[in-house]
Chain A
Amino acid sequence: MTVYFLCVVLLTMGLYCLVAKKNIVKKVLGIVIMDYAVNLYLIIIGYKTGGVAPIIEADMPLSTLERFVDPLPQALVLTSIVIGLGVMSLMVAMCIRLYEKHGTFDMSVISKLRG
């Protein structure tokens, strides 16, 4: 149970960084931390005590199939990690554009400027 709770702590820290920080790069870092927390939570849910990786070998006894960890969350997280990278590069592109337009990363300055 404590493992799940630490994952939620990590998620809320990312959320705090996203809400309370002024620097837009810090906000991006908060989203990245939330991404990590969700991925880790999904993998932890699928872990089986004494489990092995779900990869079959040729000379493996059939009983080993019972010890495999859950492959379904792993399959979903595998694509989610790469998508997180793509979305992060989109956010970095937005940050660069904002910096080019306003000359600063400070959110309070950017939102005060008009035009």
Chain B
Amino acid sequence: MKGMTLIVKTITDFVAGFIVIFGAYIVLYGHLTPGGGFAGGVIVACAFILLMLAHGSDVAFSKLPEKVAHVMDSAGALAFLGIGWFGMTMGFFFMNSFGRGEMFKLFSSGMILPLNIAVAFKVGSSLFLVFSALAIFRRRSFRAMIEDELA
């Protein structure tokens, strides 16, 4: 998959980092302001999809390799489950057993902040993966290439 023109590439270089920061803000302050893991994860995925559309798949995969995205996807789901099981050791499944902290501060509300981050990792990396699979999907399969070569 090829990239776009120089103008689009330059603007993308300016903007992509800020989009990632904004997504991280939406995730981290999900328990105090509107937002949360789902919206923030999609925003971060949008930044990498913008990179892929503007620069082509090679540059996007050099920033976030496919293997790393697979690992992040599974790690997010496992972290979500693991936090639930940690609550199990204290009482019941998904018990909010971490320290509560102080109200209306960033590090408060126990397990909600780690769960938000886990959901964001899961949603963001899986959407990036599915978009990359859709975008760079080869219309011509390996078998068809060999058949053309033989013909």
Contact = CB atoms under 8 A, between A and B. Distances in A.
B34 A58 contact: no
Given A82-B123, A96-B137, A100-B141, A55 B33 contact: yes
Contacts of B131: 89
Contact of A93 (B33, B42, B127, B134): B134
Given A58-B103, A82-B42, A85-B127, 4 more contacts: A55-B34, A78-B36, A89-B131, A92-B134
B48 interface: no
A62 interface: no
A75 to B, nearest CB: 10
Contacts of B133: 93
Contact of A100 (B127, B130, B134, B139): B139
A89 B130 contact: yes
B134 A96 contact: yes
A86 B126 CA distance: 9
20 contacts: A55-B34, A78-B36, A79-B38, A81-B38, A82-B38, A82-B42, A85-B42, A85-B127, A86-B126, A86-B127, A86-B130, A89-B130, A89-B131, A89-B134, A92-B134, A93-B130, A93-B133, A93-B134, A96-B134, A100-B141
Interface string B80-104: 0000000000000000000000011
B124 to A, nearest CB: 11
B104 A58 contact: yes
A78 B34 CA distance: 12
Nearest to B129: A89
Contacts of A78: 36, 38
